[in-house]
Amino acid sequence: MRKTLEQKIEANRLEMERLQKEQDLLLAEQEEKENQARITRHSRRGDHVEKHLPELITLTERQFHTFVEKTLLTAHTRKILTELTTENTPPPASPKPEEPAAQPNTTPPAKKT
């Protein structure tokens, strides 16, 4: 039995809806994984900072933000961060050297004896 054009359109519409729902689920899953990674990273880094500067624990949010602005948001800190991030960046791929052009055969003719 052949499908009518309307049936084909409806089947395509349903398939598109199914694929859109699947895409939405995959995007939500990806976002959740990224959020968990961010939470873990923030926790580990925050723990490390508090380990070395336990006085930070007693600061209010406003005091903490002031501390960060006066210590981390400086030209010196930016320079250090730039140096560290460039160490992690792979160098740009060097362009492939050009092959020399074919040389004409310049062998002298053989001597006649």
Q: Which of 71, 69, 35 is nearest to 52 (CA)?
A: 71
| pLDDT of res. 104 | 54
More confident residue, 24 or 73: 24
| pLDDT of res. 34 | 97
| pLDDT of res. 2 | 80
The average pLDDT across 11-22 equals: 98
Tell how many helices (H) and how many strands (E) occur in the chain. Answer: 3, 0
CA-to-CA separations, 108 to 32, 75, 102, 103, 113, in angstroms, rounded: 74, 67, 18, 14, 15
pLDDT digits (tens, 9 = 90+) for 25-64: 999 999 999 999 999 999 999 999 999 999 999 999 999 9
pLDDT digits (tens, 9 = 90+) for 73-112: 999 999 999 999 998 777 666 665 555 555 555 555 566 6
What is the value of pTM for the model shown? 0.55
More confident residue, 9 or 109: 9
